[in-house]
Amino acid sequence: MKFVDEAFIDIAAGDGGNGCVSFRHEKYKEFGGPNGGDGGRGGHVFAVADSNLNTLVDFRYSRRHEAKRGEHGMGSDMFGAAGDDIVLKMPVGTIITDAETGEVLYELLKDGEVITIAKGGDGGFGNMRFKSAINRAPRQKTPGWPGEKKSLKLELKVLADVGLLGMPNAGKSTLISAVSNARPRIADYPFTTLHPNLGVVRVGPEQSFVVADLPGLIEGASEGAGLGHLFLRHLQRTRLLLHVVDMAPFDDSVDPVAQAKALVAELKKYDAALHEKPRWLVLNKLDMVPDDERAARVKDFVKRLRFKGPVFEISALTREGCEHLIKAVYQQVKAQQVAEHETVVVDPRFVPLPPEGN
């Protein structure tokens, strides 16, 4: 399935039905009085988070979504039926934004979460509503209220605890396949990863975290070079970044330190908050470095990069050092989850509206 992480849609809730003007016409009841019913409310438009979806591709080919209008009121005290609601299933992690103002309206962060994104219009009043002691034969009625209409931008940011970033061919896909259940495409040439891959890493019974592998970044990615800039947004929700570095490049003229500095600079250009996220160094492909040179090469790399955080030496191909890495990552993710749970603040804008009755 094609991976699509952005789409634009137009939605329209149903209009309310009109009220009715009617009078009783029954045998032996000369003055039956008004009996015009109210119109039914229009259908709502709901958004539902579905963990079985991982792309917005359905909304690329179906942009207009309209709920049914409410039925008009009728005589004999009959109210109009409410219009049918429509439910739009979206991937978990979808951000719903007003396409005209750019205001973020809702975020779908939990599987099964339901949000009312457009309310149907209320039904109009029939003439029975206007009956009074001084107005026994009212001929007033009101039309139904219009339903909400919106132009929306849908943006998907995958929900992952850990994000892998690095230059093309750094071994990110090999790493995610070695430590998780993900099976991305792997080849001996750059840009084999064309869209984000998610994998669940099992550390132990009921102990796991989600890792995301993104297309490789190159210098100028924040301005649109390469593929990585299209998916940098998916790193914004991660708790930890693993900077994967190829320590045995095929081209001897390639300097891993210069590449690492360029990648960090691209992160800072794209999003300062993303640049400030916890970032660990993962020095990969050390199985291709002679044993007597490995320690010196690692020490020289860290010294020249002036990196102060945790550094892990691994080989994703042979899985050397991977177990130690995933255990450390799990402990870090768990600690951040506990800290976030203690300081969680609920934004009232994201509280869903309950479905209304007819």
Dmax of the chain from CA atoms? 111
CA distances to 150, 176, 227 from 183, rounded to whole Å, are: 39, 8, 20
Q: Is 192 within any annotated ligand binding site?
A: yes
The three-point CA angle 231-233-236 to 5° equals: 135
Q: Is 214 within any annotated ligand binding site?
A: yes
Topology adopted by domain 6-156: Spo0b-associated Gtp-binding Protein; Chain: A, (2.70.210)
Q: Is 357 within any annotated ligand binding site?
A: no
Angle formed by the axes of helices 291-305 and 256-270, nearest 10°: 40
Please say if the pLDDT value at position 241 is more than 50: yes
Q: Is 215 within any annotated ligand binding site?
A: yes
Q: Report how far residue 172's alpha carbon sits from residue 314's, in angstroms, rounded to the nearest whole number.
A: 12
Q: Are 227 and 266 spatial neighbours (Cβ–Cβ below 8 Å)?
A: no
Average pLDDT of span 223-229:
48
Q: Is 353 within any annotated ligand binding site?
A: no
Q: Is 213 within any annotated ligand binding site?
A: yes
Please say if the pLDDT value at position 110 is more than 80: yes
81/194: higher pLDDT: 81
Q: Is 32 within any annotated ligand binding site?
A: no
Q: Is 142 within any annotated ligand binding site?
A: no
Q: Report how far residue 277's alpha carbon sits from residue 57's, in angstroms, rounded to the nearest whole number.
A: 30
* pLDDT recorded at residue 225: 47
Would you give the distance in Å from CA 272 to the centre of its chain?
A: 21
Q: Is 12 within any annotated ligand binding site?
A: no
Closest CA to 196 of 266, 268, 91: 91
pLDDT in tens, 54-107: 778 788 888 899 999 999 999 888 999 999 999 999 988 888 999 988 898 998
Domain boundaries, the chain: 6-156, 162-342
Please say if the pLDDT value at position 212 is more than 90: no
Confidence of residue 226 (pLDDT cuts 50, 70, 90): very low
Q: Is 170 within any annotated ligand binding site?
A: yes
Phi, psi of 179 (to 5 degrees): -110, -10
Q: Is 249 within any annotated ligand binding site?
A: no
Give buried/exposed letters for 287-313 (b at 16+ CB in 10 A, else e). bebeeeebeebbeebbeebebeeebbb
* pLDDT recorded at residue 143: 94
Q: Is 284 within any annotated ligand binding site?
A: yes
Q: Are 116 and 139 spatial neighbours (Cβ–Cβ below 8 Å)?
A: no
Phi, psi of 247 (to 5 degrees): -90, 0
* pLDDT recorded at residue 7: 87
* pLDDT recorded at residue 118: 93
Average pLDDT of span 24-39:
81
Confidence of residue 216 (pLDDT cuts 50, 70, 90): low
Strands (E), the chain: 6-12, 45-50, 64-66, 86-91, 94-98, 104-107, 114-118, 149-156, 162-165, 197-204, 207-213, 240-246, 279-284, 311-313
Confidence of residue 275 (pLDDT cuts 50, 70, 90): confident
Q: Report how far residue 18's alpha carbon sits from residue 20's, in angstroms, rounded to the nearest whole number.
A: 7
Please say if the pLDDT value at position 160 is more than 80: no
200/188: higher pLDDT: 200
> Which residue has tokens 């039926």?
81
Please say if the pLDDT value at position 123 is more than 90: yes
* pLDDT recorded at residue 58: 82
Q: Is 173 within any annotated ligand binding site?
A: yes
Cite the DSSP H helix spans in 25-75.
57-61
Q: Is 238 within any annotated ligand binding site?
A: no
Q: Is 166 within any annotated ligand binding site?
A: yes
Give the DSSP letter of residue 37.
P
Give the DSSP letter of residue 101.
T
149-156 and 94-98: which strand pairing?
antiparallel
Could you tell me the pTM of the whole model? 0.63
* pLDDT recorded at residue 184: 52
CATH hierarchy code of domain 162-342: 3.40.50.300
Q: Is 72 within any annotated ligand binding site?
A: no
Cα dihedral sign, 95-98-103-106: negative
How much of the chain exceeds pLDDT 90, in percent?
24
Mean pLDDT of the chain: 81
Cite the DSSP H helix spans in the chain.
57-61, 172-179, 256-270, 272-275, 291-305, 322-342
Q: Is 167 within any annotated ligand binding site?
A: yes
Q: Is 316 within any annotated ligand binding site?
A: yes
Q: Is 172 within any annotated ligand binding site?
A: yes
Confidence of residue 147 (pLDDT cuts 50, 70, 90): very high
Q: Is 171 within any annotated ligand binding site?
A: yes
Q: Which two tokens stand for residue 213?
A: 């592998």
Q: Report how far residue 177's alpha carbon sits from residue 148's, in angstroms, rounded to the nearest whole number.
A: 46
Amino acid at 239: R
pLDDT in tens, 309-344: 889 998 888 889 888 988 898 888 888 877 766 544
Q: Are 213 and 182 spatial neighbours (Cβ–Cβ below 8 Å)?
A: yes
